[in-house]
């Protein structure tokens, strides 16, 4: 399903909606000051990776993160719409807690958006397309991208993916799952998808 070659993944930096635990989906929210600082911090870790190509979600929070980490590299950056976050229709802009997530994952409709199954299939197509480019490849995307990989049995469930976390993926060997290794994360508090800020 995915070309069996190592690659890297970076979640975009923080946005104001991340900080306030508001559903973004495909709302094109920009990085906030914290997100810009996170991307500049993680750029030093990206600088030492043996990369050839960067593939990014076409949403601006991922594009801006990719541009910052690529400043010292000058690598080709390929925009792939398939890597975009899930389209959550009418609930985009609402608080992220609530019953919607379980119902959606179970196959329920998402008014004005895409089904969970369609989203997961799209994400896997995006990863597969990214890995056809000269590698090693860095994919810059979204926390929800991991749901697609988990649902299709490519990675074990439960990886915590805070903003600007950098991972290495290695193809399966003794397990059906790809090995996912956290290489670096920006210092300070950083929320993973679906987490609420501290009161």
Residues noted as catalytic: 12, 85
Q: With the C-alpha atoms ordered 137, 7, 18, 36, is the resulting torsion angle positive or negative?
A: negative
Residue 95 exposed, middle or buried by CB count within 10 Å (0-12, 13-18, 19+): exposed
Beta-ladder partners of 56: 79, 140
Helix axes 33-46, 60-69, angle to 10 degrees: 40
Residue 93: name the closest of 165, 187, 17, 177 by CA: 17
């Amino acid at each position: 399903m995915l070309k069996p070659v190592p690659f890297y993944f970076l979640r975009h930096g923080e946005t104001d909606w991340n900080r306030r635990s508001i559903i973004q989906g495909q709302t094109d929210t920009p990085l906030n000051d914290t997100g810009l600082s996170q991307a500049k911090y993680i750029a030093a870790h990206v600088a030492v990776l043996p990369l050839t190509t960067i593939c990014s979600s076409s949403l601006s929070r991922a594009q801006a993160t990719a541009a910052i980490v690529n400043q010292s590299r000058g690598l080709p950056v390929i925009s792939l719409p398939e890597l975009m976050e899930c389209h959550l229709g009418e609930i985009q802009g609402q608080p992220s807690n609530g019953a919607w997530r379980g119902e959606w994952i179970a196959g329920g409709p998402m008014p004005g958006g895409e089904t969970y199954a369609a989203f997961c299939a799209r994400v896997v197509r995006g990863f597969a397309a990214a890995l056809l480019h000269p590698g090693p490849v860095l994919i810059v995307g979204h926390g929800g991208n991991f749901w697609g990989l988990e649902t299709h049995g490519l990675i074990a469930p439960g990886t915590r993916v805070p903003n600007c976390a950098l991972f290495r993926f290695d193809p399966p060997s003794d397990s059906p799952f790809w090995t996912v290794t956290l290489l670096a994360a920006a210092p300070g508090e950083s929320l993973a998808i679906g987490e609420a800020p501290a009161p």
